[in-house]
Amino acid sequence: MTMKIRVSLLVAGTAVFLAGSGAFAQQASAPAAGAAPDMSPVANPVSGFVKAGVARYEKNMVAAAEAMPAEKYAFKPSPEMNSFGHLIMHIAQSNNTFCSKISGQAAPDVKIAETDSKDKLVAALKDSFAFCTTALAKVDDSKLGEQFVMFGNRPMSRGGALVALGGSWTDHYATQAIYLRLNGILPPTAQPPK
């Protein structure tokens, strides 16, 4: 799937998600003066939904990265596609970028390459989810419309970035699962219960 198609699908998904969550956001009441904001998923349907997904995607995506043997990190389904190592590097970088922009916190300065060892890439992936957990902790739905620039020159709202982050986890985990299956390995969510 080309990047333009992925971006188009992500934008369309964002629009549908935000349209549906808008009704919930309007129902949330503002906190009383001086009161701490309600950080619950009900009061913050967009940020709450994404934050609730961090632990689940971390568990599955780290398990998928760990399931791929180290010697298969250079695996590519076809010559023009990215390697599995590149995918893990990309997920870590995406997490750091999205969670930094959404929260306003500086992204960790991580130097990784797709040719790094499996251990280094898995550690960077884990660290990126830890950063997202911390960075998103105080994010709520009060500034969803605030704009910033992503990916060099694209304006994006905080709400759009939250939805895009959740969409990227879905897309990236699906890609991990395909790479694993092509190597005869069941992805974590397809494993039989233990």
Q: What is the pLDDT of residues 182-191, one digit of tens each?
A: 999 999 999 9
N residues, the chain = 194
Contact (Cβ atoms closer than 8 angstroms) between residue 116 and residue 83: no
Rounded mean pLDDT of the chain? 85
Distance CA 30, CA 43 (A): 9
Instruction: Look at residue 21 in the predicted model and tell me its pLDDT.
Output: 42
Residue 10: CB atoms within 10 A of its CB come to 18
Q: Give the pLDDT mean for 73-97.
A: 97
Using 50, 70 and 90 to split pLDDT, how confident is the model at 152?
confident
Contact (Cβ atoms closer than 8 angstroms) between residue 169 and residue 57: yes
Q: Which CATH fold would you assign to the domain 44-187?
A: Four Helix Bundle (Hemerythrin (Met), subunit A) (1.20.120)
Q: Is the pLDDT of residue 29 over 80?
A: no
Instruction: Look at residue 40 in the predicted model and tell me its pLDDT.
Output: 53
Written as one string, the DSSP assignment of 20-37 is: HHHHHHHHSPPPPTTSPP
Using 50, 70 and 90 to split pLDDT, how confident is the model at 11?
very low
Q: Give the pLDDT mean for 55-81.
A: 97
Say which range, 28-32, 57-61, 101-105, has the weakest mean pLDDT: 28-32
Q: Is the pLDDT of residue 2 over 50?
A: no
Instruction: Look at residue 194 in the predicted model and tell me its pLDDT.
Output: 80
Partner residues linked to 147 by β-bridges: 157
Instruction: Look at residue 23 in the predicted model and tell me its pLDDT.
Output: 36
Using 50, 70 and 90 to split pLDDT, how confident is the model at 179?
very high
DSSP state of 143: G
Q: What is the pTM of this model?
A: 0.79
Instruction: Look at residue 176 in the predicted model and tell me its pLDDT.
Output: 98
Higher pLDDT, 64 or 40: 64
